[in-house]
Amino acid sequence: MGIKKHLAPVPEPLIERTLRQIGGSPLIVSDSSDFDYLPVKRVKPINPGYGNIDKILSAKKHWNPNGKTLLILGDVYFTDEAIRTILDHNEKDWFQYGRLHRNRFTEKRYNENFALSFYPEHHESIIKAGKRSCELLQSKLIPRNCMAQWYRIMCGKDGKNAHTGGRQENLGNFVEINDLTDDIDKPEDYERLMTLI
């Protein structure tokens, strides 16, 4: 469609939908110089070698030093129920929100991660797990270091065991959302979603 995925019309631009659902004044973090939505706080990647997990690590200066930090991905179509699940979850621990396996509605065949929440006492372990995922990627022990690998490291997995190798497991601190909520990565993801909503 010639537009960035966070602006996919569903039917309103995806990022506008998410901001409306969340309410308040969230902070948008982007490392892209041409991110065309305001308000935007631009964040330069900490280290280009950090790969995908840099979306967590590079936002560190914006984490709440006194309370809960909620990181919500901007390329996800959230149902209202999914947003309520994330916003209303108040257990004081770190949590990842996502889907462990195939989406029963869209038929996307793999796990997806949609959001993270955590408190100041988790900051150090979040950074440590992020950096460890980068080390494992650079040493070729894992093929990528996305949120799935970060999550497994946070739960005590290491080395090759930090990679899912297929279906993700619930190792704790995971809130599953398996409805129409889904990541829009490719045109076919968008087209499939639009036939369902």
pLDDT tens digits for range 121-149: 999 999 999 999 999 998 999 998 889 99
**Residue 2 pLDDT:** 78
Q: What is the C-alpha R_g of the chain?
A: 16
**Residue 48 pLDDT:** 66
Set out the domains of the chain in order of their start, with CATH numbers.
5-194 (3.90.550)
Mean local confidence (pLDDT), 148-164: 92
Mean local confidence (pLDDT), 89-93: 94
**Residue 39 pLDDT:** 62
The predicted-structure confidence for 92-115, as pLDDT tens digits, reads as follows 999 999 998 878 787 777 788 999
**Residue 30 pLDDT:** 65
Token representation of residue 73: 């991905």
pTM equals 0.90
Mean local confidence (pLDDT), 8-30: 82
For residue 26, is the peptide bond before it cis, meaning its omega torsion is within 30 degrees of 0? no
**Residue 197 pLDDT:** 87
Strands (E), the chain: 29-30, 41-42, 69-72, 76-77, 95-99, 112-118, 174-176, 182-183
Name the percent of the chain in helix, strand, coil, to the closest 5: 35, 15, 50
Q: Is 19's pLDDT higher than 80?
A: yes
Chain position carrying tokens 């950096």 = 131
* Greater model confidence, 25 or 154: 154
Mean local confidence (pLDDT), 1-14: 84
User: Which H or E run includes 177?
Assistant: none
CB count in 10 Å sphere of residue 10: 16
**Residue 50 pLDDT:** 72
**Residue 57 pLDDT:** 86
**Residue 151 pLDDT:** 94
The predicted-structure confidence for 33-83, as pLDDT tens digits, reads as follows 566 665 666 677 667 667 778 878 888 888 999 999 999 988 899 999 999
